[in-house]
Amino acid sequence: MADNTTRRIVQVFIADPNENVPLGKSVLYTGEQKLTDLNDTELFFEVPSLQDLIKSHNETRKVTVDMEASKRAGKDIFLDPVKIRDLRMVVVTVASF
């Protein structure tokens, strides 16, 4: 059997790593476990309505205080909208064949 396996069971997660975002709202997407032969990059294109997820998450961010910036400014400073490049996307391989 070849060392490079292409079939695997994976689960995709997308999270906002900003420490100011409440823990319960930091995960934008948790995919179902699925059997695939796609690579990690291709799997991200399989995430449904990513733009809608980001838009919804930005509603949370615009009312979330940036603690460090607020201390420096002496007033409440809220988080900027998140961009896709700011998110942490992880593919967990549950099993490979």
For the entire predicted model, the pTM comes to 0.86
pLDDT at site 83: 96
Given a cut of 70, whether residue 1 has pLDDT beyond it is: no
pLDDT at site 4: 60
Q: What is the pLDDT of residues 20-73, one digit of tens each?
A: 999 999 999 999 999 999 999 999 999 999 999 999 999 999 999 999 999 999
Q: What is the largest CA-CA distance in the chain?
A: 63
Closest CA relative to residue 37, chosen from 9, 79, 59, 71? 9
pLDDT at site 64: 97
The rounded distance, in Å, linking the Cα atoms of 45 and 50 is 9
Q: Where are the domains of the chain?
A: 8-96
pLDDT at site 6: 86
